[in-house]
Structures are given as C-alpha cells and as structure tokens.
Amino acid sequence: MGMTMIKIFDTTLRDGEQSPGVNLNQLEKLEIARQLERLRVDRIEAGFPASSKGDFEAVKAIAQTIKNSSVIGLSRAVQSDIEAAWEALRVAEEPCLHLFLATSPIHMKYKLKMTPEQVIETSVNMVKYAKKKFPFIEWSAEDASRSDLDFLARIIEKVIEAGANVINLPDTVGYTTPEEYGKMFRYIREHVPNIDQVALSCHCHDDLGMAVANSLAAIENGVTQVEGTINGIGERAGNAALEEVVIALKIRSDFYPYETNLKLDELKRTSDLVAKLTGMVVQPNKAVIGRNAYAHESGIHQDGVLKNAQTYEIITPELVGVHSNNLVLGKHSGRHAFKEKVVELGFTLSEEKLNQAFGQFKQLTDHKKEVTDEDLFTILMEIQTNANTVQKYQLEMIQVQYGSANIPTATVSVKTPEDKIVQTACTGNGSVEALYKTIAALITEETNLLDYQISSIGGGKDALAEAYVQVKVNGEIMNGRGTASDVLEASAHAYINAVNKYLIKQSSVVKEPTAIK
C-alpha cells in the first residue's frame, strides 16, 4: 500500500507565540523560521500581520528570507486584515493567507453577534476578496468541533466555490475526542460535494491532553495537513506537539500508512531553539524530545537495553537528533576550529557576529576547561538573535554578599536606555531576592517577579548556568532568560532580559490584537 503524504503546518510563531509571557523579537522569530525551514516543514505560519507593527515586520522579514517552506499569515475575515497580510506577504515565493471566522453557535451569537447566514456571506466575500491577491488561501472554521455539522458542510461548500484551497477545521478549545473529531471529518467528506477540490487540515489544542491523538484520528479520516507547534507550546494548554505527531507516524508506520517531508534529526535542535528563545522550558518527561525520553533508569531496563536496545527503546535518540558524544572545544581551539563548529551547529553568522562569538567563547574558556556544543549553541543563539534596534538596559556590574549569618546584600550597576550608569544596593532574605530588589530599584518600569527557574547547561561543576524568569513588567507578563558562568549573574541577566523584551515590544505595538483562536 502506498504512503499518503501529510503536510506539516507549523504555527509556533503564531499560535505558539500567544503563550503567556512569550514575546519573540524579529531576529528570534527569523532564527526559528530558518530552523523550521531546515526541519522542512511545509508551511510556516509566521504571524498575524494586522495585529501589530512588530508582527507585520516579522512576517515580512520571514516571507523575504524563507524559500523552501511556504509562509502563511493569519487574517480575520475583514478587508483591512487581508490588506495588511498582503503587504507583509507579497514578497513571498507563494503568498499564502489563513482566513478564519467562527462557525459555532456560541461564537457566532456572543462573539461575532452574527447570524449563520451572515457568517456564510462574510466568509464567501472575504475569500473572494483575498483570492484577487493571494494564490493560496486556507480557510478556518474557528471552533469547528463545536459547530453544527450541517451548517459546517453548507459553509464549506460555499467557501470552496469562492476559491479556498485548504479547509481547516480546528478544535479551538481542546474539547473534542479522537473518535468524535475523526467523525466530523468523515461527515464533511461525505456531505460536501466539492470537497475533493481542497485539502483538509486539522488544528488541535491540548486542554484535555488529546491534541496529538485527535490529530492522528483526523489523519485516519482523510486529513492531509496537520497544524501544531514545536514542543506543543501555545494558548492555554498549548497546541498539538508536532514532534509527537510526526514521530508517532514514523515509529508506527506499520499502522499509519502516512509519511511527512520532515528531516526528523532536526527535531531536537528545533525543540532546543524554541525552548530557549521562548523561555518555555520543556518538561524532562516530555514525549519524543524530553531530557529523560532516552534515559533508562531501572536496573532491569538498563540491562535489557545493553543486551538489545529494542527491548525498552522504541525510538533511537539519533532519529530525532539527540547526540551524546559531542566534540568539545577548549582553551587552545583556534578560530578555524571555532568557525567550523559554528557551521556544524547550524548557524550562519555575519563576520561581526562571528568575531563577537569567538570573543565570548575565549572568555568562557577562562572559566571552563571544555566548552560543549550545548554551551556554544546558547552563546551563538544569543548573539544571532540580539536585537540592537531598541535602546535597552545593560548589566554593568553585580556584587552579592551572602553568608548564613549575614543579611544578604546586592550592589548592582546598570546602563539605562538613556545611556546613564546608575548604581544602588539593597538587602533581601536571600541572594536572589537582594539582587532582584536592587535591579527593580534601578529600572523605571514597574516589575514583579512571577516565576524563577535555574538550571545548568549540560553537566559538570563548571557548567554554564541558565536562568529563566517570568516577570510582570508594567502589568504585562514577559519571559526572560540569561546565561553566565555564575548563577547570580545568569539570574541578573534573565531579569533584565525580561524588561528589555518589554521595551522591544512597546516599540513595535500599534494596537492590541483581538483574541483569536
């Protein structure tokens, strides 16, 4: 039996970016888009151009850069959104538009305040309007899984007539079950006469923990495009985790006669990049790419795996790009070896950024005998995505005094966005509290720490420290990250990074996006 090709539609940069606290700058979005292209996803949903100036510019930059995956932008069913999307996407190889309008009784009545007939009319008119510009249109029935099936069939037929190329039926609120979701697609295929002219797409949320199972059920019922995000990030409980969907299809190809275009050994790098840049840390027991997914702890399991890996290992780490033996660089590694490593790790740096990276690498070798791939990955990623377009805060110096019998005291000096050096000292119940109180006293924005996590990159006592924080900045939740040889310095960087992300966001906001699926 032949294998059916399933297209992968990644919405990490749109639906994933709607996770609380996640605010990616343009360079960060570009870096993720480049990685998604390396992973060979079929479509990249780059953002919602009408929502803000920042989103518009990011979608445009991605549309200009990415050539091997098609780039798609989200739009409400209104002319001004379609216009904005066109301005951002017209430079793309194949400009693609993702139009949506809700079809469930509850959304039509309370959110849209439209009758079902008005929803049909608007959808048809907007698809026709968009089709004058865009060669490719995906139309989504928001909250499809809670919509009336007869009504869905009726509106889909009309939207196809108007020119849509893909019909997406999302489970917007994560409410459906695999059997029910599969049935919906079966019904639509049986009751929409022109359904063969389009591809069907699924889009699942994980509120009941069934997003991946629901996506697989959709595939079994004729869907040929799956939407989701890397690491399953997204609004509320998140979206279907794409790495789980594609690995399930691969490992159980005996059961699922489907294939994808994905380069599976790029999954780990993609996951790492998304986790670090969004600050949404992956749980250790996460399927497919969690830190523990390939660790065998119990004696009986270890013994079995040593005798034959397949006894307890259904996925090999190599399949998803997890490598344990990475060649390390050290104090005596030269520029040439460093440059080769940069390429091997998948980065394309300008000469200026390469020099900067080499400098940081040399500095690091003063503290650390062996610099691992993971260390370098973090350094390179930070240099690559550092936005210099906005005046930001810069950490100049920290000094923390701690003793179990003393009151912890921190002294910090910071360069402000106005280029002034300010310094102060505060005490706290612990070193981190003292440090954060001091930083908060130096910056003008109102800040409030919500979450704080510290971990090490790789192992060993000289490992780099990586800090993640969630800070409320002037009422907005922002994630920040920081890396340094020292835990406190990494913590200080993370806090300032969250505030800087707020400044970057402020500089690009035109209007707040309305709530979308």
Would you tell me how many other CB atoms lie within 10 Å of the CB of residue 285? 10
For Zn ion, the closer CB: 481 or 517: 517
Is 107 a binding residue for Zn ion by CB under 5 A? The answer is no
For residue 467 the two structure tokens come to 């800090």
Number of residues that bind Zn ion (CB under 5 A): 2
Q: How far is the CB of 236 from Zn ion (least distance, A)?
A: 9
Among residues 15, 81, 143, 244, the one that binds Zn ion under rule CB under 5 A: 15
Length of the chain equals: 517
Is 206 a binding residue for Zn ion by CB under 5 A? The answer is no
Among the residue ranges 55-63, 66-74, 275-283, 509-517, the one whose residues contact Zn ion (CB under 5 A):
509-517
Q: Give the x/- contact pattern for Zn ion in 330-369, rule: CB under 5 A.
A: ----------------------------------------
For residue 498 the two structure tokens come to 């969250």
What is the Cα–Cα distance from 358 to 342, expressed in whole angstroms? 10
Residue nearest to Zn ion (CB): 15
With beta carbons less than 8 A apart as the criterion, state whether 482 and 452 touch: no
Is 517 a binding residue for Zn ion by CB under 5 A? The answer is yes
Would you tell me how many other CB atoms lie within 10 Å of the CB of residue 495? 26
With beta carbons less than 8 A apart as the criterion, state whether 210 and 217 touch: no
Among the residue ranges 8-16, 81-89, 154-162, 396-404, the one whose residues contact Zn ion (CB under 5 A):
8-16
Q: Give the x/- contact pattern for Zn ion in 444-483, rule: CB under 5 A.
A: ----------------------------------------
Helices 79-89 and 53-65, axial angle in degrees (round to 10):
40
Q: Helix, strand or coil for residue 511?
A: coil
Is 171 a binding residue for Zn ion by CB under 5 A? The answer is no
Residue 281 carries which side chain, given as an amino acid letter?
A: V
For Zn ion, the closer CB: 349 or 516: 516
With beta carbons less than 8 A apart as the criterion, state whether 143 and 170 touch: yes
Q: How far is the CB of 134 from Zn ion (least distance, A)?
A: 21
Q: How far is the CB of 171 from Zn ion (least distance, A)?
A: 9
For Zn ion, the closer CB: 174 or 480: 174
What is the Cα–Cα distance from 164 to 70, expressed in whole angstroms? 16
What is the Cα–Cα distance from 205 to 212, expressed in whole angstroms? 9
Nearest to 131 by CA among 178, 93, 157, 164: 164
Q: How far is the CB of 516 from Zn ion (least distance, A)?
A: 8
Among the residue ranges 7-15, 210-218, 260-268, 498-506, the one whose residues contact Zn ion (CB under 5 A):
7-15
For residue 422 the two structure tokens come to 């300010």
What is the Cα–Cα distance from 38 to 41, expressed in whole angstroms? 8
Is 143 a binding residue for Zn ion by CB under 5 A? The answer is no
With beta carbons less than 8 A apart as the criterion, state whether 77 and 55 touch: no
Q: How far is the CB of 425 from Zn ion (least distance, A)?
A: 47
Among the residue ranges 9-17, 75-83, 314-322, 490-498, the one whose residues contact Zn ion (CB under 5 A):
9-17
- Catalog residues that contact Zn ion under the rule CB under 5 A: 15, 517
